[in-house]
A and B are shown apart, each in its own frame.
Chain A
Amino acid sequence: EIVMTQSPATLSVSPGEGATLSCRASQSISTNLAWYQQKAGQAPRLLIYGAFTRATGIPARFSGSGSGTEFTLTISSLQSEDFAVYYCQQYIYWPPWTFGQGTKVEIK
Chain B
Amino acid sequence: GESVGLHLPTLSVQEGDNSIINCAYSNSASDYFIWYKQESGKGPQFIIDIRSNMDKRQGQRVTVLLNKTVKHLSLQIAATQPGDSAVYFCAENPSSRGGSYIPTFGRGTSLIVHP
Does chain A bind chain B? no
